[in-house]
Amino acid sequence: MSYLMLDIEGTTLQADEADVLQHPAVGGLILFSRNYQHRQQLNELIAAIRAVKPEIIIAVDHEGGRVQRFRDGFTQIPAMGDILPAAKDLAEAQRWAKSLGFLMATELLACDIDLSFAPVLDLNGVSEVIGTRSFSAKPDEVIALASAFIDGMAQTGMAAVGKHFPGHGSVVADTHHASAIDPRELAAISAQDMLPFKQLINEQKVQGIMPAHVIYSAVDNQPAGFSEFWLQQVLRHQLNFNGVIFSDDLGMKGAAVAGDYRARAHAALNAGCNMVLVCNDPQGARSLLNDFDWPTADNALFAALKPDPLKVMQALENEPEWQRAIAIVQQIRAA
């Protein structure tokens, strides 16, 4: 079946939250800064979650820069857009990106977290919310650096989730707070913003994709995450993506065009999303767990999101690579 990813309120798992996690439609849990005090507390929280539902996918937004939910006790990873300016050339930036992907993933896997929603494949254009979350304003540089970052993640056994398809960088509005409309024609989007997605999907480097809540008005009147055109015709059929499609948070203002939570979830699932996210609204999430029709999905899709245990073990034992990555972090911050 398709699944819901939701969140919890605090630093410990409450009894009513444990009951919700046991619902068969709950397949994922996303963590936020409010769920973190220190590493021991995080480990205890995750152990409690696993005791209720061992197979649940536990995720976090841990890109680096301003989007990193856990800080004290974790390495503060530079923004992806800071890598290339600090390097002497693209080749060095690629080596650094790979090390940072390894570092980010290793520190999360050590706490039994399955996924970081990373990397950002958007171009650094005019967007208020993307900016230096992007590797670059140039598609070829985004491809090179994101590919290397994913290689570092893959070295640890962590899957990659590219976002925000087909590209959020060329629209100013922040879809967390407002509806965003990109009026460009399909040809312009395909020739620029979509190139990193196309290339990395072609190379089979991403196991998940998260679409934007942006309306590309010359193409479809629905946000990409609610659009059969973008998710089925383009992503599945033209780009041949065969992994998991995550909705972006259905609580964001950019998703409100579809109606209430039930309407938003129906729109996302009918368009082709396999897992929908509802964050920061427990009642909104729970409204989708009773008397709601969850379509079937291939559970083999979700198995590819789980870390490879052997690679995880090897990564956690690779102290020299971790130390190299720490040195790179310091070098980028000093630039």
- In the annotated binding site, the residues are 61, 69, 133, 163-164
What letter represents residue 137's amino acid?
A
> In whole angstroms, what is the distance from residue 157 CA to residue 152 CA?
9
Active site residue: 248, 266, 298, 308, which one?
248
Active site residue: 151, 176, 281, 308, which one?
176
> In whole angstroms, what is the distance from residue 45 CA to residue 199 CA?
38
DSSP per-residue string spanning 179-243: -EEE---HHHHHHTTTHHHHHHHHTT--SEEEE-SEEETTT-SSBGGG-HIIIIIIIIIIS---S
> In whole angstroms, what is the distance from residue 273 CA to residue 267 CA?
9
Closest by CA position to 61, among listed 97, 35, 99, 22: 35
> In whole angstroms, what is the distance from residue 252 CA to residue 238 CA?
28
Half-sphere exposure of 74 (CA within 13 A, CB side): 28
> In whole angstroms, what is the distance from residue 44 CA to residue 277 CA?
24
19 catalytic, yes or no?
no
82 catalytic, yes or no?
no
> In whole angstroms, what is the distance from residue 157 CA to residue 154 CA?
5
139-156 vs 90-109: helix axis angle to the nearest 10?
Answer: 40
> In whole angstroms, what is the distance from residue 328 CA to residue 95 CA?
10
Q: Hunting for tokens 């020739």 — which residue is that?
A: 191
Annotated binding site for substrate: 61, 69, 133, 163-164
Q: Hunting for tokens 């690779």 — which residue is that?
A: 318
Could you tell me if 234 and 219 are in contact, meaning their C-beta atoms sit under 8 angstroms apart? no
Closest by CA position to 84, among listed 150, 137, 127, 154: 137
Catalytic residues: 176, 248
